[in-house]
Structure 1
């Protein structure tokens, strides 16, 4: 008898459990029937308990099943918002974390801080962190120099650190039919080691330095405190924001969770231009804090204010819906914090809301008419 657990069963049951805990349904059987019926008919069902971007063109250990780097198993997603993967928190509960533990700080020169900041900038794992949290990342990481032939991570070992490459070439090796096989090579950029820390699992590959090099390492406790807890807090905050957006009322709760997970925080100073009339649309915005002015260029350098939006409102969807350039300027009125939804994520996640958005687009068209 084959007693192996089918692939994907763990994630499926985990997602369902989270939905039950959130909704507290009664009767449970009816809820389960509806849940799995929707899951079956939804073209892109993906509900996960907490989200972290872990797929990157130069990130991570390989998928142990396909023996390919997990981000390239189906080819790199150039120009697309990276796929997100659920985080297992078997021994770490971010909600119960009171945050009282002392921050880890490793002294660095200004030059080292600058190099490290540049190294972590393109890593999708840190995209959801704000400036203060990124400072915590830089402070918590320490330098590790390696020699050619040195094993940085060994297959099967417990996870201790997460690594960001500063310099050097590193091979990713797994065992295939008793033989060690190189399945990927990092060349002076990238990151690895997050899987064991996120999933509380042994290392899934061996990482060996092929040349002398330098790595930046972050210990397990700091990684969880900064990255996992930050993702949890971000997700809860955005869920609360989205629950108060009327146009998203048509979404199921798990669909709103996916939207919340795709949002990125951006901040703007007073009079910063968030959207420029005539520019190509790259996404839409939800106002977390502050307010914005909506203006129309009338020609001859004259600009007319036609509206104002405050916390909880959204803007920028019209150009995405109609696939046209921006029809107005949106300017920060004081310090502004927004949640940004990239075009690709908009198209993928907000299909159920498009009809309502199209009706609301008349508001923007009325702004444009005022400027004529």
Structure 2
């Protein structure tokens, strides 16, 4: 899912106000481990819009960053810092321990791989503006698999493994806590134990809807339960004459489609349409049951609620 601007700000504040420590800086910055307590000290440097958009496009093309939402990628961009090399400089050397990922801002880099000690390194590819290299260093501390040399003067944007992992840890923790709070307010799920809510929070899938897009339609089979994270939806029902009547509006933190978790034979009681761009998280009945067992068994912990919901259905 993608976080709202407010959520993005809250995450950044948690980064700035916690250990690991994130610091703001107008330009540049280096991520490192503090020598005293070994907590990472990471600089947050907002980029100009043109630079930000360029880096965003580069990250979207890289398989390692495809699973991140826009706000997580924005945080990665905020902690990236500049590095410059002149022609013929060795940027990374095959066999050295890797701990940085790079995006080329401008210039040309050549990648060489040495397979046989008796032969010179083979040129395997070039990387130009918008290209990237070194992403495996963010996951593994393994030796570099290739040597990268600046063919021309180059400017790079870099991020190290510590900063990358810290961002993922903080954003994952924040989202889990946010989703848990949302789930606590879902009456059908109130019998869940906390560890079950945590499990469910981790399983929620992001989804985004453009303005005036129908999310669920009255009468259709119900399969997915949704929580609104950002935006607003309009809930309508058709009267006996078939006229569409608006019955409510739902906003961030509210939910719909919870009866879909009860039975595969349920149908939607209303049509839900996005108002503006709306971002939600959701889970279908099949995945819910795989995680926690049939929802009706959970509801039966509270028989009054179970009977009330089955009556409504």
User: TM-score when scaled to structure 1?
Assistant: 0.46
What is the aligned counterpart of 2:227 among 268, 272, 286? 286
Q: Which structure carries more strand by proportion?
A: 2
Distance 1:273 1:364 in 2: 29
Distance 1:126 1:305 in 2: 38
Mapping of 1:121-200 within 5 angstroms? 121=60, 123=63, 125=65, 127-129=67-69, 131=71, 133-141=72-80, 142=82, 152=92, 154-155=94-95, 157-159=97-99, 161-163=100-102, 193=134, 196-197=137-138
| C-alpha contact 2:233 2:274 (8 A) present in aligned 1 | yes
Distance 1:144 1:284 in 2: 49
Distance 2:113 2:103 in 1: 18
Question: What's the offset of the Cα at 1:124?
Answer: 6.3
| C-alpha contact 2:226 2:257 (8 A) present in aligned 1 | yes
Distance 1:302 1:212 in 2: 68
Return closer, same or farther for 1:277/1:350 CA change in 2, 3 Å cut-off. Answer: same
Return closer, same or farther for 1:309/1:107 CA change in 2, 3 Å cut-off. Answer: closer
Question: What's the offset of the Cα at 1:275?
Answer: 0.7
Task: Report whether the alignment pairs 1:118 with 2:57.
Answer: yes
Aligned residues between the structures: 262
Aligned with 1:206: secondary structure?
coil
Distance 1:124 1:342 in 2: 24
Distance 1:108 1:268 in 2: 28
Unmatched 5+ stretches in structure 1: 1-91, 176-184, 368-372
Mapping of 1:1-372 within 5 angstroms? 95-97=18-20, 99-102=22-25, 103-105=43-45, 110=50, 113-121=52-60, 123=63, 125=65, 127-129=67-69, 131=71, 133-141=72-80, 142=82, 152=92, 154-155=94-95, 157-159=97-99, 161-163=100-102, 193=134, 196-197=137-138, 202-203=141-142, 206-208=145-147, 217-220=157-160, 222-224=163-165, 226-249=167-190, 251=192, 253-263=194-204, 272-273=212-213, 275-277=215-217, 283-288=224-229, 292-296=233-237, 302-309=243-250, 312-316=253-257, 322=264, 328-332=270-274, 338-341=279-282, 343=284, 347-351=286-290, 352=292, 354-356=294-296
| C-alpha contact 1:169 1:186 (8 A) present in aligned 2 | yes
Question: What's the offset of the Cα at 1:295?
Answer: 1.4
Question: What's the offset of the Cα at 1:157?
Answer: 0.9
Distance 2:137 2:281 in 1: 30
Unmatched 5+ stretches in structure 2: 1-14, 26-42, 116-124, 300-305
Distance 2:136 2:189 in 1: 33
Return closer, same or farther for 1:205/1:299 CA change in 2, 3 Å cut-off. Answer: farther
Distance 2:86 2:270 in 1: 53
Question: What's the offset of the Cα at 1:241?
Answer: 2.5
Return closer, same or farther for 1:287/1:151 CA change in 2, 3 Å cut-off. Answer: same
Aligned with 1:256: secondary structure?
helix
User: TM-score when scaled to structure 2?
Assistant: 0.52
